[in-house]
Amino acid sequence: MSVDPVMPALGGLGLVPTRDGRQSVRDYTADQEVRWCPGCGDYAVLAAVRQFLPTLGLRRENIVFVSGIGCSSRFPYYLNTYGMHSIHGRAPAIATGIAVTRPDLSVWVVTGDGDALSIGGNHLIHALRRNVNLKILLFNNRIYGLTKGQYSPTSEVGKITKSTPAGSLDLPFNPVSLALGAEAGFVGRALDSDRAQLTEVLGAAAAHRGSALVEIYQDCPVFNDGSFDVLRRPEEREERLIPVRHGEPIRFGTPADDGLGRWAVVRDGFTLKVVAAAATDPERVVVHDATDHTLAFALSRLSDQELNHTVTGVLRGFRRETYDDAVRAQLDRAGRTTGPEARQALLTGHDSWTVRPNTD
């Protein structure tokens, strides 16, 4: 896997035209009335994105949001950019067509746990594997909201829902593990209520050239209320959330004597484990390396459905050539011979013959 030699320093937005002058939340607010349920986590994400987009300094008309079907997929209607609310699960495929034909666009996909991981699982993994320059925001509320409360592919085993009155039976996906398994170059995770970290991860995703998956934990107050409360309650949050940053030792929890968290992540064979920092040689504490695929996967495995530990931040940020750049490079190498002679030569082929007027 090599970094594109042609444009080594090009970021995710490198070919998107910018605009001078300050932009505001209002610039990105569409006139459509927002219609999510009161208390829905989508509001927090929308607010964060509306606040984040102006900081990119892009021309608004060069931003496209594409969504599938589900509560979160209404998202594009509420942003004053170009947008498409498409069909269930297919947004990554549609966005691929947009990104491949238009390097001057910043393309975002908004999807949910059902849309991305159930009906659209195939498109998601292939978009990630190809490394199309798309930013995929996966809103994970671990439930089907729009169809009114069935379990989702991220619901805990044993979940009681309308469609699983005796408890769900199937193991949930860990979206970060799945994305890493699908060769995603960028994988991040944040909690909807942590505006600062969410904005930081979104910024890193936008700057990343290639597919970026950001899993955003959020609540469905109607059908799965409080599903992430353990990550929100002050007394529990610090013991469970493991925020990571490239180049920093992975420590979390209430501060220890050195000011860092009292828990540390260390290697344990091929996996990782959480130990008390005080009882650990500081040299053994894992320093986060976002370019290390294996480490990112091991970090993702610290999470389980009980959310005892949940890694947030940028788990992986590794750059390799994007599919759309490679497609365009192939076209360029082919020479773009589209003149009148080339056109006629194409239709004529290699074996033509001429019929002259019959003079018999």
Which residues make up the interface to other proteins (CB under 8 A)? 30, 32, 59-64, 66, 69, 76-77, 79-87, 90, 93-98, 100-102, 104-105, 122-123, 126, 327, 330-331, 333-338, 340, 342-344, 346-349, 351-358
Which residue is listed with tokens 């491949």?
Answer: 100
Nearest approach, Cβ of residue 50 and other proteins (Å): 14
Nearest approach, Cβ of residue 171 and other proteins (Å): 24
d(CA 259, CA 254): 9
- Residue 228 contacts residue 214 (beta carbons within 8 Å): no
Partners of 214 in the β-ladder: 137, 188
Nearest to 318 by CA among 215, 211, 244: 211
Helix or strand run (H / E) with residue 125 = helix 121-130
Nearest approach, Cβ of residue 160 and other proteins (Å): 31
- Nearest 10 degrees: CA dihedral of 238, 244, 249, 253? 0
Q: Which of 95/315 has CB closer to other proteins?
A: 95
Q: Which of 41/89 has CB closer to other proteins?
A: 89
Q: Which of 115/219 has CB closer to other proteins?
A: 115
Nearest approach, Cβ of residue 305 and other proteins (Å): 28
User: Angle of helix 41-56 relative to helix 195-207, nearest 10 degrees?
Assistant: 50
Nearest approach, Cβ of residue 12 and other proteins (Å): 17
Buried/exposed 276-304: b ≥16 CB within 10 Å, e otherwise: ebeeeeeeebbebbbebbebbbbbbbbbe
Q: Which of 76/253 has CB closer to other proteins?
A: 76
Helix or strand run (H / E) with residue 67 = strand 63-67
Nearest approach, Cβ of residue 89 and other proteins (Å): 8
d(CA 107, CA 15): 12
Q: How many CB atoms lie within 10 A of CB 82?
A: 16
Nearest approach, Cβ of residue 76 and other proteins (Å): 5
Q: Which of 160/331 has CB closer to other proteins?
A: 331
Distances (CA, A) of 113 to 73, 218, 238: 11, 11, 25
Nearest approach, Cβ of residue 14 and other proteins (Å): 16
Q: Which of 49/191 has CB closer to other proteins?
A: 49
Given phi > 0 = left and psi -120 to 50 = alpha, else beta, which region is 233? Answer: beta
Partners of 243 in the β-ladder: 312
Tokens of 259: 């000011």
Q: Which of 22/356 has CB closer to other proteins?
A: 356
Q: Which of 98/286 has CB closer to other proteins?
A: 98
